[in-house]
Amino acid sequence: MSARATRRKAVNLVAGVVAGAAALLSLLALGSILWTLVARGLPALHWSVLTTSMAPTGENGGLANAIVGSLIQVALGMAVAVPIGIMAGTYLSEYARGSKLGDVIRFVSDILLSAPSILVGLFVYVLLVATTNTYSGFAGGIALAVIAIPMIVRTTEDMLSLVPVALREAAAALGAPKWKVVTLIAWRAAGSGISTGILLALARVAGETAPLLFTSLGNLNWSTSLGKPMASLPLTIYQYAGSPYDDLVQLAWTGALLVTLGVLAINIIAQLALSRKR
Amino acid sequence: MTGAAGTLAAAAPPPVVAGPASSRGKERLFAGTVTTSGLLVFGLLGAIILMLLLGAWPALKTFGPTFFWNPIWDSVADQYGAGVMIYGTLATSLLALIIAVPLAMGVAYALTEIVPQALRRPIGILIQLLAAIPSIIYGMWGFFILAPYIAEHVVLNVADAFADVPVLNRVFDYGSGNNLFTAGLVLAVMILPLITAMFVEVLGATPVILKESVYGLGATRFEVIRHVALPYGKRAFIGAIMLGLGRALGETMAVTFVIGNATRLSPSIFAQGATISSTIANEFNEAGGGSLKLAALLGLGVTLFVISFIVLSISRALVGRRVEN
């Protein structure tokens, strides 16, 4: 074997080893995160965390109000985002193919999709908090909606564009008007894909902290009023993790474990639904 | 026969265009609803820009364009400039890229060329799941695990090593575990799954026939990646990196925990610092409604918007919109 061939083989081997090392190192870092989460969060995971509200240090508080606050705000956000997102995605796929306006809206939606979430928080602060002079669960829900909308727009458009044109033409040939072709044929054919997108958006907003900092603010007490500041799991984790008290830090880890488990569970369900369809 | 054809012709539905009035009304209603929703999404971005500018106006008027580079952020003297935060944002994000891009490249190479076929899909799903973990979790991990480790094992050793080297002893000066470097490291770990997933997709998009023909010439796996797949997907790779950069620039929670939140300028990467988003998150609740400080924080928001808009536009121009997700 020539020296040149030996050298090329050696380079190939080294590249493989380096790539393997990079993969190992990455898995190590990410494994460390998951391990820390479980090791620190699990020991304190009791029913009482889910049933009692937040309390000052030393009083054995739980996370019940934060969990309920999160559920309320995420539900409100999704209730606003799902119809708008699906409609706008339908517009892009069915009514704006090749139009200038469609291209602009698609670009805007993509920018919104990747825009820093803290900016959404600032936006909703100026729009809803500064004008009403009160932080509120409503403002928090709207902020989450703004984050979810572009995600749903994107998946709706993508999934609708996968529906074969022949299917639409067949319906149109039977005399169905366009709105019936879209709602009865295209939406139905793309239904499971769109649902997956909605689930992924749900998982994403459930873990968002930054947009809630100056919209729903957080609340130490039990409150389900949309007009008042409202607690949420990610915000509570943020507040407790930075506190000097061990029991509150412990609660932050337990909350972090809960959020991650919830987010991962939704993601796994979405992935399974998607792979079954394939 | 003719009779049957005649019946069919007679039973043919009337032309759709001239359908009953109620059907046309529904058509118009539906088209109107979806178009309105589309315009609403368009208006959303306009509203975000407008609201940020509106809120930031008092600060922009007071400090003029110098707001965008003045490195003084002094709540006591009511003097505000975005210089330190812009530096912190760019420094931590670039650091994150320098660490994450080679790692992601290595992982993507290993995944597409070395790992057995059967394991690729599970590992691919694992990467997507890791990308879905909320950023606050990365922040907590950085704060409780990484920062103490950096303080104990990295800062001292590195600073010792460079103590007598002229310029470098300023860059690697002694400091705590909460610093720009740690923030960059946490960001790198956070964007790693995202970039890796996109890299794997780009590598997988190289036409097999192109790779096979180079293998046929006797090339090694590494040479095929280096001389075929990399040049073939160059634009998409850069676009993916820009998307990772966009993500790092605007990240709040992962950074706020570990950067130390000091609003003064230092040449050392082991010094405490601040990014745009960490400053907004930290100081917002200290700023009263209608105060100049609040306007300055919204001005920081405007700055961040401009920076991410530029980065995202470049990314989109390079990759189109299919690689992401």
pLDDT of residue B126: 85
pLDDT in tens, A117-157: 999 999 999 999 999 999 999 999 999 999 999 999 999 99
Query: Stretch B85-98: mean pLDDT, rounded?
Result: 96
pLDDT in tens, A177-199: 999 999 999 999 999 899 999 99
From residue A163, alpha-carbon distances to A160, A179, B304 in Å are 5, 15, 38
Residues A184 and A254 placed together within one structural domain of the fold: yes
Contact indicator for B30, A183 with CB cutoff of 8 Å: yes
Read off the pLDDT band of A275 (50, 70, 90). Answer: confident
Residues A143 and A17 placed together within one structural domain of the fold: no
- pTM equals 0.92
Read off the pLDDT band of A98 (50, 70, 90). Answer: confident
Residues A107 and A237 placed together within one structural domain of the fold: yes
Range(s) of the domain holding residue A72: 48-277
Residues A178 and A71 placed together within one structural domain of the fold: yes
pLDDT in tens, A204-261: 999 999 999 999 988 888 888 999 999 999 999 999 999 999 999 999 999 999 999 9
Read off the pLDDT band of B80 (50, 70, 90). Answer: very high
pLDDT in tens, B214-241: 999 989 999 999 999 999 999 989 989 9
Residues A122 and A24 placed together within one structural domain of the fold: no
Q: If we measure between CA atoms, which residue out of A252, A46, A24, A212 comes closest to residue B141?
A: A252
Contacts of A121 (CB under 8 A, 6+ apart): A143, A210, A211, A212, A213, A214, A215
pLDDT of residue B299: 96
Residues A74 and A14 placed together within one structural domain of the fold: no
Assess A244–B contact: CB distance below 8 Å, yes or no: no
Q: If we measure between CA atoms, which residue out of A205, A235, A204, A223 comes closest to residue A143?
A: A205
ipTM for the complex shown: 0.93
pLDDT of residue B321: 56
Assess B63–A contact: CB distance below 8 Å, yes or no: no
pLDDT of residue B263: 86
Q: What is the mean pLDDT of chain A?
A: 92
pLDDT of residue B170: 85
Q: Do A177 and B16 touch (CB under 8 A)?
A: yes
CATH superfamily, with its number, for domain B63-319: MetI-like (1.10.3720.10)
Read off the pLDDT band of B120 (50, 70, 90). Answer: confident
Domain tally for chain A?
A: 2
pLDDT of residue B18: 47
User: Looking at the DSSP assignment, which residues form a beta bridge with residue B79?
Assistant: B74
Q: If we measure between CA atoms, which residue out of A256, A22, A30, A237 comes closest to residue B146?
A: A30
Assess B318–A contact: CB distance below 8 Å, yes or no: no
CATH number of the domain that residue A221 is part of: 1.10.3720.10
Query: Stretch A61-78: mean pLDDT, rounded?
Result: 95
**B114 contacts in A (CB within 8 Å)?**
16, 19-20
Residues A54 and A37 placed together within one structural domain of the fold: no
Residues A32 and A97 placed together within one structural domain of the fold: no
Residues A260 and A237 placed together within one structural domain of the fold: yes
Assess B285–A contact: CB distance below 8 Å, yes or no: yes
Q: In this model, does residue B88 exceed pLDDT 80? A: yes
Shortest distance between the Cα of B270 and any Cα of chain A, in A, equals 21
Q: In this model, does residue B213 exceed pLDDT 50? A: yes
**B298 contacts in A (CB within 8 Å)?**
122, 126
Residues A165 and A189 placed together within one structural domain of the fold: yes
Residues A217 and A267 placed together within one structural domain of the fold: yes
- Count the residues in chain A: 278
Q: In this model, does residue B84 exceed pLDDT 90? A: yes
Q: In this model, does residue B4 exceed pLDDT 50? A: no
What CA–CA distance (Å, rounded) separates B170 from B267?
Answer: 6
User: Looking at the DSSP assignment, which residues form a beta bridge with residue B89?
Assistant: none
Of A1 and B101, the one with more pLDDT: B101
pLDDT of residue B21: 66
Residues A123 and A14 placed together within one structural domain of the fold: no
Give CA B248 to chain center in angstroms: 5
